[in-house]
Structure 1
Amino acid sequence: METAAPKIHKNLLLILIMLTSFINPFMGAAVNIALPQIGGEFSMNAVTMSWVAMSFLLASAVVLVPMGKLADMFGRKKIFLWGNGVVVMASLMCAFSTSTSMLLIFRAIQGIGGAMMFGTSMAIVTSAFPPHERGKAIGMNVTAVYLGLSAAPVLGGFLTQSFGWQSLFVLPIPIGLLVLFATPYAVKQEWADARHEQFDLKGSLIYIASMSAFMYGFSKIPDNFAIACTVAGLAGLLFFIRVEWKAQYPVLDMKLFAHNRLFAMSNLAALINYATTFAITFIISLYLQYVKGFSPREAGTILVAQPIMMAIVATFSGRMSDRYDSRILSSMGMTIIAVGLCLLLPINDSTSNGYIVAALLILGIGFGLFSSPNTNAIMSSVEKRYLGIASATVGTMRLTGQMMSMGIATLVLHLFIGNDKINPSNHIQFLHASHLTIGVFIALSILGIWASLARGKRENVKD
């Protein structure tokens, strides 16, 4: 509203949002660098070490949608600030953890706080910026996410080596405190367009339980218990859809998907996009270190090409989506991703480093061109009272797609090498597994191109 404009320092607000968008993926990814050090201090086995990373991602994913609804009801700024406070507290406790269980508990709480921030940040940006500036602002915010991913292996490695693993959890504290104190100055108004509604506790509990089972199970396939969890989670999600369809005030309005083609197909495209791209870094990292014999630092130097290119392109593609149809921009991005994946399909032990970097750069261009316009399309397709849910849905598609991507890669690797460690005797099998995984991702990317094109000719932007 015009009367609220003087109360919003939009540029300062965007900077604060970008700081949280940087630190969120950084917290999720940088800890992987420190896992050997953490595992050594607490005598963790490999499975327990994986839960240091998994607990954060899983907790974030399963509470995003309920937090988005709470933000629409009680205020997006309020939930955003509470999330920063939770992250500051949990990060401090992680840094001072004295046992494995203490660290895992506060990593999960840190993930919940991260979901409160990530699930409201896009909604706040959409609320604060008018439609003709929204794509640019969203593009800047998406760029901050990619910068966080880019900095994670480099900055995380430096902090861990120089100051110990605890320093990774100290970094979010001053950033969180800055955001806590500066945000009330940047924006004095609140957005709570669904304040008259009641919170759907039943639907939220079903959703959290079902998503937990599905995401845990899919990440651990092909273990029999994991398969059972995945099936149970899918069944629970189908039941959740039935419950929400009949609810007066659903935590996730299924009619948004049924009656809003742009919202539904853009979210499907986002899910497929993350499912086809996230595990590529995992696969190429193993390829570089085991097949090519690179050190982790050398491998990281090559892998950083993709997120850096994502960050550069996302800034421009966000601005372009203010003027051009997001359907065309996003579909072009998915097509470029498919080309990049095709280039990686024939890699072998003699593939040059330059070829790998070129393929990763093309993937980065495609992902950057897809993500900002697609997010702009999602956020611009719903009424104000659904902005928190839309923001949370974007985050849910990201995390669910990432989990599915890793699940596919892990399953294929298991089919070819079983439980054996990667070594020179099974490099051929590893390459075959890599080729099949990339082939699956190419097929998914073609489906993603269709979903992106099928959303409709042009979004109906809602101010």
Structure 2
Amino acid sequence: MSQIGKPACDDGVILHGDVPRPCSAPSRRWTLVAAILGSSMAFIDGTIVNVALPAIQRELSATTSEAQWVMESYALFLASLLLVGGVLGDRFGRRRIFMIGAALFAVSSMGCSLSSDVGQLIVARAVQGMGAALLVPGSLALISATFPQSERGAAIGTWSAFSGITAAIGPVIGGFLVEHYSWTWAFLVNVPVGVVLLLICATKVPESRGSGDRNPIDVLGACLATIGLAGVVFALIEAPSRGWKAMPVWVAAGVGIGALALFIRVEARSAAPMMQLSLFRERNFAGANLLTLLLYAALGGSLFFLPLNLIQVQGYGATAAGAALLPFIAIMFALSRWAGTLVDVLGSKLPLVIGPVVAAVGFVMFAVPSINSDYWTTFFPAICILGLGMSVTVAPLTTTVMNAVGSEFAGTASGINNAVSRTAALLAIAIFGIVLTWAFNVTLSNELARLQAPAALVSAVTSQRARLAGMVIPSGYSASVTAALRHTIGMSFVAGFRWVMLVSAALALLSAVSAWLLIRGKEIVASPARRSD
């Protein structure tokens, strides 16, 4: 659930794509079907795996850091290669690259389901992320390359509606499969969809390309971004278990920071960068992306740990945990049109301040529930308030990004904002893991000292600290001692979860401050001088 549905600016990628090539009405319809199926696979996978993580952790005896890597390996390659995926389609053919992404995604999904240990699963997920990096921009580009401007609005509406539906049913279906069959089915569902998608593309979808060599491939930038993010994420995830002084942690951090610094230098000097840094000179664009970084870090990082809390601590089944966020998605869907009118009435600045503040209240409300809390009086109100805050934010955010630059850069700006939102979640999951682990360990040590449980039992539990709430309590002890220990572990996780939600609230408030300070009161289209940068 770290990435719920489509990011804010996906519509802009479609709306401001290249001039379409003439094709028949049936070809346009089949292209829209293919785009929906392709993006749906990526959207569903971004939510369904979170629900499956507790079962994966239990059956593969994975630590929490390894469970994080199951998500992060996918998100890493998706975030770092997302912008390159669009350029590859322009150069070598959008349908061709889209089909390669679909095939890679389906085959790697099969690899995920066949994994016998967590290491194999992490590698398969990384390959799956590469496939998604070709699928996601490809689905958007196919629509813009096929539909004329006069029909793109309807195509966007259809595509967005189905995106909302898949975002809603994905976690529920995934939870049902995990609960009644196996976590492997959370990945296997992608295989038949991938086969159907490839058949449709091969027989019904027309090929299209960009304008020749105008968009060269920034191989160096892509490599540096991947290495940089991988190094930083490795250091953040592994530091709690290995220690901050461990050589691998320091080396990874140094390599990551160095690669990211070099990435900025290369992009600033490149004639055709994957990330056009000159766009950040426009104040509204810079402010919108800073808001995106902070708010989507709060959203993605916090919602990664919500299913773990619901399943491992609150005792929810996987299906119920998958359905827990349905109100969030329903509110986003129901209020999307209304939120769009806010920009016309109020401009973008005020909603971009109010929305994150409301979201911050929702995050604070998530910090209230303890163990065995009633969903309808604790989690449900928090989810609704968070959904309201995000609904108020997304449409004005899209408008701000699109209007901050010239129309010829609108697609590029949308792609950058998309990548920023995914990178934010990638980094937040790693950072929040540190926060939760620290609070969990402190609380667990204090509570175990008070519990006065048998020394052998305490030793067996503390040796599993790295699994957090996924600890397995040894058998052979009385029911009262086991229940007390299970309660202690649950309370320790809740203590860490509360810290995560409070940090998320702080990030949401900071995003509101960034909007207040950087976003102008009225939307200002970039000047001709800036457009030529």
Partner of 1:26: 44
Distance (whole Å) between structure 1 residues aligned to residue 499 and residue 525 of structure 2 = 40
Task: Return 5+ residue gaps in structure 1 as ranges.
Answer: none
Report SS of the residue matched to 1:198. Answer: coil
Partner of 1:378: 401
User: Match of 1:333, as an amino acid?
Assistant: G
Partner of 2:214: 196
Report SS of the residue matched to 2:214. Answer: coil
Kindly state the Cα deviation for residue 242 of structure 1 after the two structures are TM-superposed. Answer: 1.2
TM-score by length of 2: 0.72
Distance (whole Å) between structure 2 residues aligned to residue 136 and residue 409 of structure 1 = 39
Match of 1:276 among 290, 298, 310: 298
Between stretches 144-153 and 378-387, larger displacement belongs to 378-387
Give the conservation status (yes or no) of the 8 Å contact 2:403–2:523: no
Distance (whole Å) between structure 2 residues aligned to residue 228 and residue 140 of structure 1 = 47
Kindly state the Cα deviation for residue 374 of structure 1 after the two structures are TM-superposed. Answer: 2.6
Distance 1:180 1:197, change over 3 A: same
Partner of 1:396: 419
Partner of 2:507: 444
Distance (whole Å) between structure 2 residues aligned to residue 316 and residue 181 of structure 1 = 38
Match of 2:174 among 124, 134, 156: 156
Partner of 2:523: 458
Distance (whole Å) between structure 2 residues aligned to residue 330 and residue 130 of structure 1 = 31
Kindly state the Cα deviation for residue 301 of structure 1 after the two structures are TM-superposed. Answer: 4.1
- Between the aligned residues of both structures, percent identity stands at 26
Partner of 2:278: 255
Distance (whole Å) between structure 1 residues aligned to residue 346 and residue 202 of structure 2 = 34
Pairing of 1:267-416 with structure 2 (within 5 A): 267-288=289-310, 292-314=314-336, 317=339, 325-348=347-370, 352-356=374-378, 357-375=380-398, 377-378=400-401, 389-416=412-439
Between stretches 289-298 and 355-364, larger displacement belongs to 289-298
Distance 1:2 1:153, change over 3 A: closer
Kindly state the Cα deviation for residue 41 of structure 1 after the two structures are TM-superposed. Answer: 6.9
Give the conservation status (yes or no) of the 8 Å contact 1:88–1:176: yes
Distance (whole Å) between structure 1 residues aligned to residue 385 and residue 439 of structure 2 = 28
Q: String of CA shifts for 1:382-418, please: whole Å, max 9, x gaps.
A: 5677566445433422322212332343222222222
Report SS of the residue matched to 2:324. Answer: helix
Pairing of 1:204-223 with structure 2 (within 5 A): 204-222=222-240, 223=243
Distance 1:193 1:254, change over 3 A: farther
Kindly state the Cα deviation for residue 135 of structure 1 after the two structures are TM-superposed. Answer: 7.0
Match of 2:98 among 72, 76, 80: 80
Distance 1:323 1:133, change over 3 A: farther
Q: String of CA shifts for 1:104-159, please: whole Å, max 9, x gaps.
A: 43332221111111134345555666778767755665555554443343211323
Distance (whole Å) between structure 1 residues aligned to residue 112 and residue 366 of structure 2 = 38
Between stretches 156-165 and 402-411, larger displacement belongs to 156-165
Give the conservation status (yes or no) of the 8 Å contact 1:327–1:455: yes
Kindly state the Cα deviation for residue 304 of structure 1 after the two structures are TM-superposed. Answer: 3.5
Kindly state the Cα deviation for residue 275 of structure 1 after the two structures are TM-superposed. Answer: 1.0
User: Match of 2:131, as an amino acid?
Assistant: G
Between stretches 147-156 and 453-462, larger displacement belongs to 453-462
Distance (whole Å) between structure 1 residues aligned to residue 425 and residue 272 of structure 2 = 29
RMSD: 4.0
Kindly state the Cα deviation for residue 69 of structure 1 after the two structures are TM-superposed. Answer: 3.3
Distance (whole Å) between structure 2 residues aligned to residue 317 and residue 133 of structure 1 = 22
Please say if 1:17 is aligned against 2:73: no
Distance (whole Å) between structure 1 residues aligned to residue 176 and residue 372 of structure 2 = 31
Partner of 2:15: none
Task: Return 5+ residue gaps in structure 2 as ranges.
Answer: 1-17, 442-464, 470-485
Between stretches 176-185 and 249-258, larger displacement belongs to 176-185
Partner of 1:55: 73
Between stretches 327-336 and 167-176, larger displacement belongs to 327-336
Give the conservation status (yes or no) of the 8 Å contact 1:7–1:186: no
